[in-house]
Structure 1
């Protein structure tokens, strides 16, 4: 982790206002999401918050999972003021390093513009979809 920042899975540290603001103002996939919907997604997901050492939240990601076989990465965000510094990559690497995530058989995600980033971590396109990617350990033979 880069100096001056830390990542936590403690949901009590999450700044719901930061997450909601980013979702409705900056995320192409979050337009129209209500505050109640945002709270519900957090309540029902394995969440990761990224913070400055002064405890200001600057990033967020979550995984919707059964904690056994399957997970779907969602809502990976970094505050615009901190983008381009490798913090999104650090957040993804932290998330993927967690034992809970490593133990999953299948991990999927949807992205419109970050295929190259996720390819580095073993994700490949699913079929002809321009959005869906997965990393699958399950053998079908």
Structure 2
């Protein structure tokens, strides 16, 4: 059994059912997200699938104009594959992607992986008073996200 993580940005390689299942059932940030919403998000993002022995075990998604700004979201490694350095390899591949170089701002939100992202230069916002958001944490609970 080969335990090497192979990372692909080919949208056709993604296991959409696995991604949806993880996000909707196991994530802390997108629980209950509808499949149609995941499919639309994947179609409009730069996605990174991590594969071991041909099966997807990791994922990351970047929302970007590929010129000035990017936001890293939906990063996960399946529980059975954690502790092998796959998250670091996945994030390194994201950071090295040619379309994500020279950006003025690269953001992410995390509640529990600050150490991972700090290793790639992410810090708390320099000017948090300049950031604003509209946040609806229970959106998927209401079914309002369904098309």
* Same fold? TM cut 0.5: yes
TM tier, shorter chain? 0.7 to 0.9
Corresponding residue number in structure 1 for 2:93: 94
Q: How many residues align?
A: 127
Corresponding residue number in structure 2 for 1:39: 39
Structure 1: gaps (5+ residues): 129-141
Corresponding residue number in structure 2 for 1:27: 27
Name whichever structure is richer in strand by fraction.
1
Report the secondary structure of 1:18's partner residue.
Answer: helix
Report the secondary structure of 1:42's partner residue.
Answer: helix
Report the secondary structure of 1:125's partner residue.
Answer: coil
Measured after TM superposition, the shift of residue 3 of structure 1 is 5.4
What TM-score do you get using the length of structure 1 for normalisation? 0.85
Query: Partners of 1:79 and 1:27 in 2: how far apart?
Result: 10
The runs of at least 4 aligned residues of structure 1 exceeding 4 Å deviation read none
What TM-score do you get using the length of structure 2 for normalisation? 0.82
Structure 2: gaps (5+ residues): 130-147
Report the secondary structure of 2:107's partner residue.
Answer: strand
| CA RMSD in angstroms, aligned pairs only | 1.7
Corresponding residue number in structure 1 for 2:122: 123
